Amino acid sequence: MTARRQANLKTLADHLGLSVTTVSRALKDGPEVRPETIARVKEAAASLGYVPNVGGIHLRTGRTMKVCSILFAPEVGDYGDPGFLAQVESLSAGLEVSHYNLLVLAQTGRQTPLEAVRKVYEQRMADAVVFSRTLPLDERVRYCLERDFPFVSFGRTELQTPHAYVDHDDEGAVFDAVTRLAAEGHRRIALINPSGGLTYLGYRLRGYQRALAEAGLPWDPKLSVVADLSVRAAREAARRLVTEGGAATAIICANQMSVVGVLEGLIGCGVDTIRDGLPVVGFGGMPFRMLSEQKVIYYYQPQRRVGEMLAHHTLALLEGRPAETLATVLPYVRIDDLRRFRDSEDVTGA
């Protein structure tokens, strides 16, 4: 039995009675092709098993038809943050509609952030790159801008040249959290920020200080704590915040892992979030439920949604859209009590 010959553009054109040019433009959603023709071409492509010839595309255009997402390996390995998996899955799915494949490159603890981006560019591994953990004056952004290498950052910078990014509204979320806590009567609200000088940490601190000022609360440096993104560091930070002079009456954590550490620290000091009225606020991108009776207020940003936006912005850049039109800040969804958090379409959907 002879193997079925893989469909190509000419096969589709002959099957549909159209020109190869029309079929090619229809597969790219060309505005010059009627919507009904686009639908008919795509239906035939699916039924005949048409797959673009990536080798031919590379020869004609120089494109690899790949996008590289750089993963900071120590953050996942040391801190157990699973959010990147959902983000990578939705990023990959978003790119597939344009026949792009996603590569994931691990940046090890021995590498600088720029080394990984330089490797992708110099080895022509991909047509665009996606990276996170941005700094205010991020050298990776400068590198890509200087070489006109398409990129989308998960996080903002303070550089003046416009560039494509997707970010969370960390300033707005922390401002909202502090404002609500102050309205409930809390006067000593602590903020735990991770180390590293990342851009979003500045936004969180700005939201914290702005909310304190508007609520008429004094700024106390002892309540602004820097701790690693680990259970152990957060546990120790919480212990200090509730046992040393001028104890905190509410604690805002950095991420999901620090929520766990803070709760461990509070319980170890005999503090109950409900009985003692000491609320804990957390941020995260994965849905999870509290397994204890401790109350946690949760600012949630589905990482699937982030991945979808990263894919959209990357494809738009590759199609020639100006970078200044591809700057998105996503609001968090506030979950008032994580004990009652249940998976639902309106909360966990991308």
Task: Quickly count: other Cβ atoms within 10 Å of residue 286's Cβ.
Answer: 18
Residue 159 clears pLDDT 70, i.e. is over it: yes
User: Do 73 and 100 sit in the same domain of this protein?
Assistant: yes
Q: Would residue 4 count as lying in a domain?
A: no
pLDDT at 343: 46
Quickly state the pLDDT bin for 200 (edges 50, 70, 90): very high
Task: Quickly count: other Cβ atoms within 10 Å of residue 6's Cβ.
Answer: 11
CA distance 119 to 102: 16
Tens of pLDDT along 303-323? 899 999 999 999 999 999 999
Residue 105 clears pLDDT 70, i.e. is over it: yes
pTM of the shown model: 0.80
Residue 106, domain CATH: 3.40.50.2300
Query: What b-and-e string marks burial along 233-244, b requiring 16 or more CB atoms within 10 Å of the CB?
Result: bbbbbbbbbbee
* Bridge partners, 207 (sequence order): none
Please work out, in degrees rounded to the nearest 5, the angle formed at the alpha carbon of residue 98 by the alpha carbons of 6 and 115: 115
Quickly state the pLDDT bin for 74 (edges 50, 70, 90): low
Burial of residue 23 (number of CB atoms within 10 Å: 0-12, 13-18, 19+): buried
Query: What b-and-e string marks burial along 164-199, b requiring 16 or more CB atoms within 10 Å of the CB?
Result: bbbbbbbbebbbbbbbbbbeeebbbbbbbbbeeebb
Quickly state the pLDDT bin for 113 (edges 50, 70, 90): very high
Q: Would residue 59 count as lying in a domain?
A: no
Least confident of 22-26, 253-257, 270-274, 285-289: 285-289
Least confident of 41-50, 230-239, 262-271: 41-50
CA distance 203 to 329: 12
User: Do 84 and 98 sit in the same domain of this protein?
Assistant: yes
User: Do 252 and 175 sit in the same domain of this protein?
Assistant: yes
Contact 261, 111 (CB under 8 A): no
Residue 117 clears pLDDT 70, i.e. is over it: yes
Q: What are phi and psi of 337, to 5 degrees?
A: -150, 110
Q: Would residue 86 count as lying in a domain?
A: yes
Q: Would residue 297 count as lying in a domain?
A: yes
β-sheet with 327-330: strand ranges across? 101-107, 66-72, 128-132, 151-154, 165-168, 327-330
Residue 78 clears pLDDT 60, i.e. is over it: no
Residue 326 clears pLDDT 50, i.e. is over it: yes
Most confident range (mean pLDDT) of 10-24, 56-70, 98-112, 210-224 is 210-224
Residue 228 clears pLDDT 50, i.e. is over it: yes
Q: For residue 344, give the 3-state DSSP assignment.
A: coil
The structure tokens listed for 2 are 């002879």
Q: Would residue 262 count as lying in a domain?
A: yes
- Closest CA relative to residue 183, chosen from 255, 104, 279: 279
**pLDDT higher for 64 or 81?**
64
Q: Would residue 155 count as lying in a domain?
A: yes
Contact 235, 268 (CB under 8 A): yes
Q: Would residue 61 count as lying in a domain?
A: no
Quickly state the pLDDT bin for 268 (edges 50, 70, 90): very high
User: Do 128 and 189 sit in the same domain of this protein?
Assistant: no
CA distance 313 to 71: 18
- Closest CA relative to residue 288, chosen from 76, 81, 79: 81
User: Do 298 and 175 sit in the same domain of this protein?
Assistant: yes
Amino acid present at 23: V
User: Do 83 and 214 sit in the same domain of this protein?
Assistant: no
Total length of the chain: 350
Domain housing 320: 66-168+303-332
User: Do 253 and 289 sit in the same domain of this protein?
Assistant: yes
CA distance 193 to 185: 23
User: Do 279 and 318 sit in the same domain of this protein?
Assistant: no
Give the dihedral sign, CA 24/25/29/34.
negative
User: Do 291 and 204 sit in the same domain of this protein?
Assistant: yes
pLDDT at 290: 57
- Closest CA relative to residue 259, chosen from 288, 302, 220: 288
Average pLDDT, the chain: 86
User: Do 224 and 110 sit in the same domain of this protein?
Assistant: no
User: Do 255 and 311 sit in the same domain of this protein?
Assistant: no
Q: Would residue 2 count as lying in a domain?
A: no
Residue 112 clears pLDDT 70, i.e. is over it: yes
User: Do 152 and 283 sit in the same domain of this protein?
Assistant: no
- Total domains in the chain come to 3
Q: Give Cβ neighbours of residue 112 (< 8 Å, ≥ 6 apart).
A: none
Residue 345 clears pLDDT 50, i.e. is over it: no
pLDDT at 68: 97
Residue 220 clears pLDDT 60, i.e. is over it: yes
